[in-house]
Chains A and B, each alone.
Chain A
């Protein structure tokens, strides 16, 4: 029998989004309300299994009475709030944020960003050929996953997943400051010298593909990665008694990547090294 936790009953509060009345349970964010109302607000650093960091600022909306724009992902809805999601002011900031990111970071593997750049008419090239970029080489220092920080938008999700929100391993942190800030282990050491336990929960939450399975990285480099030819099968991990769900991504009858459903009430998309990376034996055809 599946038990769905209902939680304590929550009061509904009323406010308006783009002039339309909205009713959401107390504690909901503006973003929750906007999504419930069918508004499409872009997000990058927001994660469905993590507390909002509101670092990317691509989800900003206008709230009546607020001096600055407000990040929809983290601002809780309040009764009587007047939210406007599609004003020229909000769209301007989203456009600039997209331009700033696309001009400094490799967003080629970030889902949806190409659509947003088109929708907001962002022109990342306008900063000229001399515009500073991250210029990071992929860090390939272990057999399991690759850290390609040229694709990192510094959303903090991997740090939060590795730290006290999920894994409690604390292998990575943001080091440095400003434009020079990077995700790093202590003293920029290779991952193999760090506290990393290779659970891959950072890969699960990475929104840009900066963190990827070694198999995906190699296939992309070889030009053989093709998501249209992949099937996804959700099954149960066979290693221990917890029974975590695994989603196997299979291309040409080979497992190329393993994820885990975020809506699983026990694991919320988290796995351990065995579930995440220990799949080779099933395709050892000897």
Chain B
């Protein structure tokens, strides 16, 4: 590849950050100073380009160390990886957590999304911005959902350096958030993951180890039943595992509810190799935080589940894509993977069975769209996180163009009880068409927000009762920003995929957000519209411009009702219908769902 580079040079620190990830450059072809020897040979071609997937980790390396990505740093990274600078610039500007303009080393992300807004994020933001103005050394950024809804309002401070430091303040007050940003090391420790599990201590299948085991201890994990499922998997063989998962009736928990066994079978039977397993931990749907709790509270369970899934589909390389806003989950899972590797539970010969697997973590950098399965592939591969058009489907052409299974964290963790208790016993839980347990992320106007595990089939009312719903309930949002609102008189809705569908709404990823009558509904809808406008990747017209027109219309009618809003509601319906019908991916297709349900079911603007 004949690339053109500008004259900007990296600083020593930028160079060191990149070299810490990639190792020192071997020749001037990769960015070292030119020597006479370099003039006698060339490096290029496929071998040089094959490391493109390290672009995103490289951008992280620079951003983590310096706080932003300069021209010199980007150029150097491009030389190291043989990536055209224009493309790398396109990738760097795609992610909200990167900046290509100078900014202070510390960035404080203050969540202004639904749960946090209902908990007073507006005042919090104003208070913080008044304290941390220009010159304070902190850049305050209003952020979409940080996945800390059970402790709303939330703020996340990231201070660039070596190493990068982070601090979470939640529930945040102005003083605590300012402290987290100005002295991340001195900020109080985050509460343990179990604090987000109000049912802790109750019998459960998915959350039973959270708060019980030491999340860093592999021995403790094994003492609590860890790795029995993997042994069972080796007894069954890959085909046997797929049969069990198929018989269990497990369907994807990320929102699409696709049968997991069928997905595994379709991938396993592809003649093209290698096969890949990708765990989608880019949990960015506003109101969702279950995967974070699982990864922080029981990381080895995910490592074991990934091992089983990879074994079933004959993959030898697996990726976990974790959203960039989850530093603690990244840290815990990385430690668990390292421990498992050191103890022969990952690597060349797992449990002496001759099966080889390694797991790599890739961090997202602030892009909701990367939770879409094909956008996630592009993001890992070092391209802009734009969804691909389907067909071909990932089971045929997924990551690096190879057959790939992509599963959500919760889906994978369900595989453990399926193998330990057997498919029939697992399938007996829940309802006929939605089997097993389900995690729900309850937040908003409830006494005990957090992750709840219930068998499929419990009603919305039962769940809200468990969580201690407060007086004056006005609406419940199911499934997050891409989901839909239901009324307080619809609490009998059974929480199953088919039950919510019959009720004309969706279960999505398991978000249950309660709003009382003090929260102005039009403001919430406007926030949802802003979210989609900010998070649209921009690839297709219906979503790129449609989300903008939707936000404009909702802004116009934020204080209006009845006839004053009728024209704009008619406009919203027309634009919404085209977004749903003609967008490339689920983001655009669902961007109008919540607003439509609020108009039709809740009578917003009446």
Q: Which residues of A contact B (CB under 8 A)?
A: 54-58, 60, 68-69, 71, 74, 89, 92-93, 95-97, 100-101, 103-104, 126-128, 130-132, 153-154, 156, 163, 168, 170-181, 184-187, 189, 193-195
Contact = CB atoms under 8 A, between A and B. Distances in A.
A97 B578 contact: yes
B384 A174 contact: yes
Interface of B: 1-4, 6, 71, 74, 84-90, 93-94, 96, 100, 367, 384, 389, 533-542, 544-549, 552, 556, 571, 574-575, 577-578, 580-584, 589
A179 B6 contact: no
A242 B89 CA distance: 35
A52 to B, nearest CB: 8
Given A54-B540, A181-B544, A189-B6, 12 more contacts: A93-B578, A96-B542, A100-B549, A163-B84, A170-B1, A174-B538, A177-B94, A177-B538, A186-B86, A186-B88, A186-B89, A195-B4
10 contacts: A57-B583, A93-B582, A96-B575, A100-B542, A100-B545, A101-B541, A173-B86, A177-B93, A186-B89, A187-B100
Given A58-B541, A132-B552, A185-B86, A69 B4 contact: no
A186 B74 contact: yes
Contact of A54 (B2, B535, B538, B584): B584
Nearest to A58: B541
Contacts of A126: 571
Given A93-B581, A168-B1, A179-B536, A100 B541 contact: yes
B86 A153 contact: no
Contacts of B541: 55-58, 97, 100-101, 153
A69 B577 CA distance: 11
B581 A184 contact: no
A247 B303 CA distance: 61
A255 to B, nearest CB: 29
A171 B85 CA distance: 8
Given A69-B581, A93-B578, A179-B545, A194 B538 contact: no
Contacts of B574: 92, 96
Nearest to A130: B552
Contacts of B547: 178-179
Contacts of B389: 54, 71, 74
B4 A154 contact: no
A177 B544 CA distance: 9
Contact of A178 (B88, B537, B556, B581): B537
Contacts of A74: 389
A58 B536 CA distance: 18
B533 A179 contact: yes
Given A57-B541, A171-B4, A176-B538, A92 B533 contact: no
A173 B89 CA distance: 8
Task: Give the 6 A-B residue pairs with the shortest CB-CB distance, closest first.
Answer: A170-B84, A173-B90, A195-B4, A96-B578, A181-B538, A100-B545
A69 B540 CA distance: 13
A187 B69 CA distance: 11
A179 B548 contact: yes
User: Which of A92, A96, A194 has the largest count of B CB atoms less than 10 A from its CB?
Assistant: A96
Nearest to A196: B4
A118 to B, nearest CB: 18
A187 B389 CA distance: 29
B542 A97 contact: yes
A68 B580 contact: yes
Given A57-B583, A186-B6, A195-B4, A93 B542 contact: yes
A60 B4 contact: no
With most chain B CB atoms within 10 A of its CB, the pick from A57, A58, A156, A168 is A57
